[in-house]
Amino acid sequence: MDVIRTLNKDELDESITLSCFAFQYEVTAEEREERKRRMDPDRIWGYFVDGKMAAKMHIHDMRAYVQGKQIRMGGVASVATWPEYRRKGMVAALLERGLQAMKEDGQTLSCLHPFAVSFYRKYGWELYADYKTYELTSAQLPREVHSEGRIVRADRDWQLLDRVYGRYAQQYNGTLVRDEAWWHHTVFKQKGGQAAVYFDDAGDPRGYVLYKVKNRVMDIGEMAFLDETARRGLWRFIANHDSMCDKIKLRAPADDDLPFLLPDPRIVQETVAYFSARIVDFKGFAEQYPFEAAGREETLYVRLADRTAPWNDGLFRVTVDAAGRATVREASEGEADGAESAACDIGTMAAMLLGYKRPRVMHRLGRLVGQETEAERWERLVPRRSSYLPDYF
């Protein structure tokens, strides 16, 4: 008999074993026990065949910044199946059941790192965040960068770093709201090394960098800054490592302008498609979403297609008041007669509202269907804010 349910505590070992096999890594006995201490069996869904775990999926309870507002998000991770059970629709069934659970739990948004973008697109997850990778030689570092302020080493002072990160992350859509556990078990563990914080003349922390130097390569795991003065101060600090490194590697938001600011902008750079997102509950998400305050009420009709979450599939009436607050309800087929409407799938809607692609672009690409005037209304109502995710889960 096939059953989909959350795990019991005594099944956590089996879940770890499946992850180790599927993602090809090993853990020590001590690491296994540490993982079990941090795992919540109620957040792990398993597909069981005759009592044996055949596949499983984790749904982390997270919060993400969207237009400067914190929204609850289901972080889907560690989706894995034993080979003998693959290609039998088990992952699809887990995703469908997981979406129901997220909706019931009030997680109106979901994000994941896709092993294949095309696979998760079938179930409504669309790309929402890219990042750039840079590689500079020490000769390409900015020289004689003038900046006031000072640099202080922060070791693993997560509260100090989070004072900067929280304000930095709110400038983007889709960034995570971090807590102490996330800083220690994820950020420091994945990016480790040294932490240096830039303080301005008033003593306010305005930027930081997490980095390692090994084999004459400086690997910057994370850089965040709140203004250009802080950026210059951090780059002055990085340039002071020129005697001990020949190469600098870092990751940055897709809209980052670093090359333009360099004396020699011909550095090695690449844009990488990274994370995908989907709206779990369109009504719940849109009613939290801060639309542009247009100063007058606007009513839009949109026909959404969502094969995996049927509560999102249909015609919706979205009323945005003068302050940008939305009210959403299902509309009858005859209600929109004579009114302009747009149509798209749930993934397209997520990519638009998270700032990955503008409504005007989606209309040009044929992903937002309808009259150009209707696409322009969405263009006006969706605030301009780009997406980014410096984390991994």
**Alpha helix stretches (DSSP H) within the chain:** 12-23, 29-38, 90-105, 117-121, 158-169, 180-182, 188-191, 228-239, 258-261, 282-286, 346-353, 359-364, 372-381
Does the structure show a pLDDT above 90 at 142?
no
pTM for the whole structure: 0.95
> Which ranges in the chain are annotated with CATH 3.40.630.30?
2-112, 132-273
pLDDT at position 338 over 90: no
pLDDT digits (tens, 9 = 90+) for 155-186: 899 999 999 999 999 999 999 999 999 999 99
**Which architecture, in CATH terms, is 2-112?**
3-Layer(aba) Sandwich (3.40)
Of 103, 108, 47, nearest to 79 by C-alpha is 47
Residue 129 to residues 158, 204, 219, 354, 391, Cα–Cα distance (Å): 25, 30, 21, 9, 11
Look at residue 147 in the predicted model and tell me its pLDDT: 75
- The rounded distance, in Å, linking the Cα atoms of 52 and 216 is 49
Query: Is the pLDDT assigned to residue 224 strictly greater than 80?
Result: yes
Mean predicted confidence (pLDDT) in 35-45:
97
pLDDT per residue as tens digits for the range 55-94: 999 999 999 999 999 999 999 999 999 999 999 999 999 9
- Where does the chain hold its CATH 3.30.1050.10 domain(s)? 281-381
Q: What is the average pLDDT value for the chain, to the nearest integer?
A: 97
CB proximity list for 364: less than 8 A, separation 6 or greater: none
pLDDT value of residue 303: 98
- Domain 132-273 grouped into CATH 3.40.630.30: yes
pLDDT tens per residue, range 270-300: 999 999 999 999 999 999 999 999 999 999 9
Q: What's the fold here for domain 281-381?
A: Nonspecific Lipid-transfer Protein; Chain A (3.30.1050)
The CA distance from 355 to 5, in Å, is 35
Residue matched to tokens 């059953």: 3
Residue 312 and residue 391: Cα distance in Å, rounded? 28
Nearby residues of 275 by Cβ (< 8 Å), 6 or more positions away: 111, 112, 113, 114, 127, 128, 129, 174, 389
pLDDT of residue 336 exceeding 80, the answer is: no
